[in-house]
Structure formats: structure tokens, C-alpha cells
Amino acid sequence: MTVTRHTFYRLSVMRRGFSLTELAAALAIVVIVIAITLPSLSSLLDRLAVERAATQVTTALAVARNAAVMTATHARLILAADSLRIDRWDGAAWATVRRWPGPEQGGVAAVVSNPVVEFGPLGIGWGAGNTRVVLTRGSQSATITTSRLGRIKRW
């Protein structure tokens, strides 16, 4: 039997696709790569969640302080695991200005030494002393402190 050029071309074109062995080998390689990178991916997701929660808390503190200074009245931030709420004193009662979801939404645990941070008309802390917020998820953590002078520091 003589194989002509045309017959050889037809035989080689007919085999399209992959064998079951080739697919199993490729799948095994993908599974090994995922198993190697998964622990570092988990750590990365924890770090990103803690960073986002820390940014939300520091922003809420800065907005509360700014609200007190701009309106020349008292403003407070109520820190809870499920929400961050800014209230402004309108002369007779506290009125809610702004509300955000808390760190719990991102799976971040929050431990707060003083859940109510109040700022006076000059932006200086009012009432209780320094406040410390510790945010944790997995092995990642961030600490935020506010001083009596209204300074916000992130560790």
C-alpha cells in the first residue's frame, strides 16, 4: 500500500483533540499548582480584608472629626462590629449624619476599647480617653488608636 501525500495529510488532520491521558495530566498539573498557591492566597485575602476594614474605620474617624469642626458642634462615631455611625449634636439631640457597614461585613473581627468616640467643635476628643481599635482576620491584624487631641494613628 502506497501512502500518497494527500492520504497522509488526511490521516494527520483527522486526529484533532486530546486523549484522556493528556487531559488527566493537564488536570493534575492544575490541581498541584492550586494546592501550592492556595495558602498564600488565603493570607492575601485576609490582609486585603483587614486593610479595607482599617481604611473604613480611619475614614469614619476622620469624617466624624471633620463634621465636628465644620459645623462647630459635637460629633461622635459609634464603632460596632456591624456598623459605623456618625451622629452630630443639633442642640437638643443626636442626629445621624452618615452610616457605613462595619468590619464584620468583610469577615473582620473588631475589638474596640471605647465604642463611642466624640469630637468637640475644635476637633479635640471629648469624654473618655484614647480609643483603640484592633481589627483581625486570620493571621492578619491592624491597630488604630485615637488620642484625646483627636489624632488618628494606624499601627
pLDDT in tens, the chain (155 residues): 565 665 555 555 556 788 899 999 999 999 999 888 877 788 889 999 999 999 999 999 999 999 999 999 999 999 998 999 999 998 899 999 999 899 999 999 999 999 999 999 998 988 766 899 999 999 899 999 998 888 889 88
The CB density around residue 124, as the number of other CB atoms within 10 Å, is: 16
- For 127, the 3-state DSSP assignment is coil
pLDDT at 47: 94
The neighbouring-strand residues paired with 101 are 83
Q: What's the pLDDT tens digit per position in 130-141?
A: 899 999 999 899
- The span from the CA of 154 to the CA of 143, in Å, is 6
The neighbouring-strand residues paired with 84 are 79, 100
pLDDT at 69: 93
All structural domains of the chain, each given as residue ranges with its CATH number in brackets, are 19-154 (3.55.40.10)
pLDDT at 134: 96
pLDDT at 155: 84
